[in-house]
Amino acid sequence: MKRKPFHILLLCLVVLVAISCNSIENKSLNKKVDKKDNISVKLNDKDDSDHEKDILLKKIEGMTLKEKIGQLLVVGFEGTSINSDIENYIENYKVGGFILFSRNIRNADESFKLINDIKEKNTQNSIPLFISIDEEGGGVSRLPKEFLKLPSAKMIGNANREEISFEYGKVIGVRVKSLGFNLDFAPVLDINSNPKNPVIGDRSFGDTEKIVSKNGISVVKGLKEEGLISAVKHFPGHGDTSVDSHKNLPVVYKTKDELKDLELIPFKKAIKEDIDAIMVAHILYKDIDKDYPATMSKSIIEKLLREDLSFKGVVMSDDMTMGAIIKTYSLEEASVKFLKSGGDILLICHGRDNPRLVFEAIEKAVEEKILSEEEIDKKVYRIISLKKKYKINDKSLMKYDIEKINKLTDDFLKKVNSL
């Protein structure tokens, strides 16, 4: 009987040890589970990324060749309201987007309706449209007269303050987005190094790579902040030309190393900042490609831009109907050559029948195995990935507030003028 308390004590100690061990084991198990959960989350993130990729690839696989070719075209048109040409481009050629110029934009209400009508028409297609514009500020502005004027890039470069340039990009973004645009061919990353340049001038932020890089990239960030796709231009640099590429083909004799020391620096920095799209210039760089301008040059698009500068985004041409191209080459030949050289989107801004001619030339190039459908698939993947990234859609906008937008613009102008 005297041993009973001892046995009871011993039993209690055994129970306590067991509970303690079980607790330690449970904590250890919990840690393992947590670790597994973390791994699972990472795997799920990867799976989600792969899943999104698979969805896009399956979408492309289900597209006809005509639908794929259509995505490679952003076209211009005549008129200020939806018409049979626009309907034809959408219904029969499944174009990837439209670009609007001053000829299409008379006033804000009319433009707002036009863009909504275009989007509404495209809802019959499975891929939404780029609705694009050249809106740089300063002299290159397509917005209707109701919008207050913005200063030129040169004035912003003179201020040379990142926060001002960022706000400049945001203000541009708010303005163009309000009417339904989703892609802006801006800003200019050309360095205005040639005082005889007839086409760049105050469209550039300045005459040094530091000013252009600092302010240009800040503008891109401002546009992005407002959900606008920015296509910077004009790669590999239009600043040191004395010929207007709208009229004739400029020729530059700089070597690749000379370009790397100046013109390419803003583009290289923009690529490091994850720029989405780059427009290529119609300029012949004799030392790099003696036969073809940048727009048609594999040495410049595929080798210099894609390989040397590691650009993975969307490559767009300048308008293929400009004098620099059509005075020297056929539109059809030049367009196919651009795609074969690594480009993704052709801008066909003028000529009612030109989108059809280019479309048929690409079809023929595939039939004759000059272009492979696999090459086109890669381009289409980049294009629809960009549309998905920015959540591009064809939903109509309900309203815009011009007074609010102009108040925002006026506040910005006061800030710039006070510097």
Q: Where do the domains of the chain lie, and which CATH numbers do they carry?
A: 64-417 (3.20.20.300)
pLDDT > 90 in the chain, percent:
80
State pLDDT tens for residues 200-218.
889 999 999 999 999 999 9
- Read off the pLDDT of residues 305-326 as tens digits, 9 standing for 90 and up: 999 999 999 999 999 999 999 9
Q: Does position 151 have pLDDT exceeding 60, yes or no? A: yes
For position 4, what pLDDT does the model report? Answer: 46
Which pLDDT does position 42 carry in this prediction?
A: 31
Contact 329, 293 (CB under 8 A): no
Token pair 């001053």 is at which residue? 102
**Mean pLDDT confidence for 124-152:** 96
CA 300-338-115 angle, to 5 degrees, is 115
Confidence of residue 244 (pLDDT cuts 50, 70, 90): low
Average pLDDT, the chain: 89
The predicted pLDDT at position 50 comes to 83
Higher pLDDT, residue 196 or 153: 153
Token code pair at residue 239: 């600043």
Q: Which residue has the higher pLDDT, 139 or 40?
A: 139
Mean pLDDT over 57-63 rounds to 94
Q: What percent of the chain has pLDDT over 70?
A: 87
Q: What's the mean pLDDT in 111-117?
A: 98
pLDDT digits (tens, 9 = 90+) for 335-374: 999 999 999 999 999 999 999 999 999 999 999 999 999 9
Q: Please compute the mean of the pLDDT values over residues 222-236 and round it to a whole number.
A: 97
At 240 the pLDDT is 66
CB atoms within 10 A of CB 22: 10
Q: Which residues are catalytic?
A: 246, 318
The pLDDT score that the predictor gives to residue 23 is 41
Residues 6+ positions from 61 with CB-CB distance below 8 Å = none
In the predicted model, what is the mean pLDDT of residues 42-71? 80
Determine which of 2-11, 100-109, 153-162, 180-189 has the lowest per-residue pLDDT on average: 2-11
pLDDT at 367: 97
Note the pLDDT of residue 25. Answer: 39
pLDDT score of 243 more than 80: no
**Band of pLDDT at residue 8, cut at 50, 70 and 90:** very low
pLDDT tens digits, 390-407: 999 999 999 999 999 999
pLDDT at 219: 98
pLDDT at position 44 is 33
Answer whether 344's CB lies under 8 Å from 315's CB.
Answer: yes
Looking at the predicted structure, is the pLDDT value of residue 2 above 50?
no
- Residue 220's Cβ-side half-sphere holds a number of Cα atoms within 13 Å equal to 27
